[in-house]
Amino acid sequence: MKHVTGHLAAYLGGELDQPTRALVDTHLAECAACRAELASFDQVWAMLDVAAAAPVSAGPGLWSGVRSRTVAVDPARVPWFFGRGPWTRRGWAAVAVAAGVFVALVLPGGTGPDGTGPTVLASSDSAGWLSSTWLDDTSNPGLAEQWMLAGLDSDGSAP
Amino acid sequence: MDPKLDDDALMIRTARGEEAAFRLLVQRWEHDVLAFLSAMLGSAEDAEDLAQETFVRIYRNAGNYRPEGMFRSWMLRIAGNLARSRLRRRRIIGWIPFDPTDHDVADQGAGPEAVLQAGQTSDLIRGALARLPDRQREALVLHRFQGMKYKDIATTMGTTLPGVESLIQRALAALRDELSRGDRMP
């Protein structure tokens, strides 16, 4: 029978269907070369398990970094003339800069525009309360889910 | 899990701008994303940087997300794309990809010798992983570090089942050869 080395990773990972697995088992019982190959793969497999078990922990900055770039940016408070798309904002920013240069050059004593980018404001109202309750509490992973479930209305809307 | 709090439900609520739903998603998945990126990149700092970027992209694309029960695959596809992009950039600038000091192997109830040995094994394997071709590494990490089945890896990586089997088979052989060369197999 043909060697089964091409199936050994899937064999170790439990990914072979039953007929293929039975064929591999039969071959392994007869073929010392494939058994040796399997044994060497098995050692790497065990080393991978050790490496995978090494803990990886999220630093406290992960959520605050994500939040500052997502939910803390309140699109409703971005002035309408900057639009919502990045190119719209960049376009209007360029127009504002050009207008500022024009004013500064043509109208002595004039002042330039005082803001050339979107106003990005952090919503501070709910954030402080949320983070003081469960958002930053990692000691009880189920707490957040319990809190949300308790607060859900019957129609599934948020508290 | 209560269906009101499954990933798809939380994504729908995230798309509506509900901070609590998004926070819960991040809390639920941050360790998986970090572990995946850490194994892909061999650098805790880069892993955290790209984990943040992954969640930012998830938030920004929440409106386009199709709730078909495939959130984890979708999330890891985003993380995988970012990781491969970062690895390509590193190669251009000749960055050395693996820093063993980044990987903290904590005492999990074992004695100090066992912890030391586990730490050395972990460093060895992560160093060898860093030298694998990106696609092979990604498939192997998804399988062994994330516990994903081949079918889900195929979805995540946009390839076929035989493609995944081939990637993981070649990755395992390459790791074995790499570790055997230095006589570092146990």
Give this complex's ipTM.
Answer: 0.77
Whether B66 is in a domain gets the answer yes
Q: How far is A9 from chain B (nearest CA, A)?
A: 5
pLDDT digits (tens, 9 = 90+) for B48-105: 999 999 999 999 999 999 988 899 999 999 999 999 999 988 877 765 555 555 544 4
Burial of B106 (0-12, 13-18, 19+ CB in 10 A): exposed
Residues of chain A with Cβ-Cβ distance to B137 below 8 Å are none
Tell me the C-alpha to C-alpha distance, in Å, between residue B81 and each of A112, A145, B18: 42, 30, 26
pLDDT at residue B40 in the model: 93
Query: B176 vs A63: CB contact, 8 Å cut-off?
Result: no
Q: Give the nearest chain A residue to B153 (CA atoms).
A: A15
Q: What is the mean pLDDT of residues B14-36?
A: 93
Whether B156 is in a domain gets the answer no
**Dist. CA B185–CA A41, nearest whole Å:** 10
Whether B25 is in a domain gets the answer yes
Sketch the domain layout of chain A as residue ranges: 5-53, 61-72+122-151, 73-120
pLDDT at residue B94 in the model: 62
pLDDT at residue A118 in the model: 42
pLDDT digits (tens, 9 = 90+) for A69-81: 998 875 654 454 5
Query: What is the pLDDT confidence band of residue A134, given thresholds at 50, 70 and 90?
Result: low
CA dihedral A40, A42, A43, A44 (to 10 degrees): 90
**Dist. CA B140–CA A42, nearest whole Å:** 14
**Dist. CA B164–CA B160, nearest whole Å:** 6
Residues of chain B with Cβ-Cβ distance to A59 below 8 Å are 48
pLDDT at residue B143 in the model: 96
Give me the percent of chain A exceeding a pLDDT of 70.
Answer: 52
pLDDT at residue A112 in the model: 43
Helices then strands, counting H and E runs in chain B, come out as 8, 0
**Residue A127 reports pLDDT greater than 50:** no
Query: B168 vs A45: CB contact, 8 Å cut-off?
Result: no
Asked if residue A8 lies in contact with residue B165, where contact means CB atoms within 8 angstroms, the answer is no
Residue B79, domain extent: 1-97
**Residue A119 reports pLDDT greater than 70:** no
Whether B155 is in a domain gets the answer no
Conformational region of residue B112, where left means phi above 0, alpha means psi within -120 to 50, and beta covers everything else: alpha
**Dist. CA B8–CA B28, nearest whole Å:** 13
Whether B162 is in a domain gets the answer no
Using CB atoms and an 8 Å cut-off, which of residues 65-84 of chain A contact chain B? 65-67, 69-71
pLDDT at residue B184 in the model: 58
Residues of chain A with Cβ-Cβ distance to B22 below 8 Å are 70-71
**Residue B14 reports pLDDT greater than 80:** yes
Residues of chain A with Cβ-Cβ distance to B168 below 8 Å are 9-10, 13
Query: A54 vs B122: CB contact, 8 Å cut-off?
Result: yes
**Dist. CA A56–CA B34, nearest whole Å:** 7
> Which of A37-41, A153-157, B67-71 has the highest average model confidence (pLDDT)?
A37-41
pLDDT at residue B74 in the model: 95
- In chain B, the number of structural domains is 1
**Dist. CA B164–CA B170, nearest whole Å:** 10
Query: What is the pLDDT confidence band of residue A86, given thresholds at 50, 70 and 90?
Result: low
Q: What's the CATH number where B27 sits?
A: 1.10.1740.10
Residues of chain B with Cβ-Cβ distance to A70 below 8 Å are 22, 55-56, 59-60
Residue of B104, B125, B131, B148 to mutate, interface with A, max A Cβ within 10 Å = B125
Whether B9 is in a domain gets the answer yes
Mean pLDDT computed over every residue of chain A: 72
> Which of A97-111, A127-141, B81-95, B168-182 has the highest average model confidence (pLDDT)?
B168-182
**Residue A11 reports pLDDT greater than 50:** yes
Q: Is residue A53 within 8 angstroms of chain B, CB to CB?
A: yes
Residues of chain A with Cβ-Cβ distance to B145 below 8 Å are 48, 51-52
> How far separated are the first and last CA of chain B, in Å rounded?
41
Mean pLDDT computed over every residue of chain B: 86
Q: Quick check: helix, strand or coil at residue A4?
A: coil
- Residue of B176, B171, B124 lying closest to A40 (CA atoms): B176
Q: Is residue B145 within 8 angstroms of chain A, CB to CB?
A: yes
Asked if residue B136 lies in contact with residue B167, where contact means CB atoms within 8 angstroms, the answer is yes
Query: What is the pLDDT confidence band of residue B157, given thresholds at 50, 70 and 90?
Result: very high
Burial of B57 (0-12, 13-18, 19+ CB in 10 A): middle
pLDDT at residue B3 in the model: 73
